[in-house]
């Protein structure tokens, strides 16, 4: 829906990802879900990625601890952001025509 609205309006879009996990299932492999978000965003034509970094003692899997220390999710984002920027730079001049789902 966001991709289509972006195309209809003739403006780029970015994908937003909350910077925390609220359940233990996702907190164990933060880089995997983040990688999925980054690469599916590119596939849909996103021109940017945004993270909401929320630090609270009761949340697991945030970008930083409540005292501001980077977590594994932060370190995964650091690597993936470079990959996103490199690929998006190459894709920016192209025009997304369609998105297909299989399986």
pLDDT tens sequence across 29-71: 667 888 888 898 888 888 888 876 767 777 766 788 888 888 8
Alpha-carbon gap, residue 47 to 16, rounded angstroms: 11
Q: Is 64 exposed, middle or buried (0-12, 13-18, 19+ CB in 10 A)?
A: middle
Domain ranges in the chain are: 16-91
Enumerate residues 6+ apart whose C-beta is below 8 A from 101. Answer: none
| pTM, 2 dp | 0.74
Alpha-carbon gap, residue 101 to 78, rounded angstroms: 29
What pLDDT is stored for residue 90 in this prediction? 92
Which of 83, 93, 102, 101 lies closest to 12 in space, CA to CA? 93
């Amino acid at each position: 829906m966001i991709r289509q609205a972006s195309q209809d309006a003739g403006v780029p879009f970015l994908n937003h990802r909350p910077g925390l996990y609220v359940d233990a299932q996702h907190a164990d492999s933060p880089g995997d879900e983040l990688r999925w978000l980054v690469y599916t965003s590119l596939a849909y034509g996103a021109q940017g990625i945004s993270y909401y970094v929320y630090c609270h003692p009761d949340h697991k899997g945030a970008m930083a601890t409540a005292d501001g220390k980077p977590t594994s999710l932060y370190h995964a984002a650091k690597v993936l952001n470079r990959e996103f920027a490199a690929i998006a730079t190459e894709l920016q001049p192209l025009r997304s025509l369609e998105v297909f789902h299989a399986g």
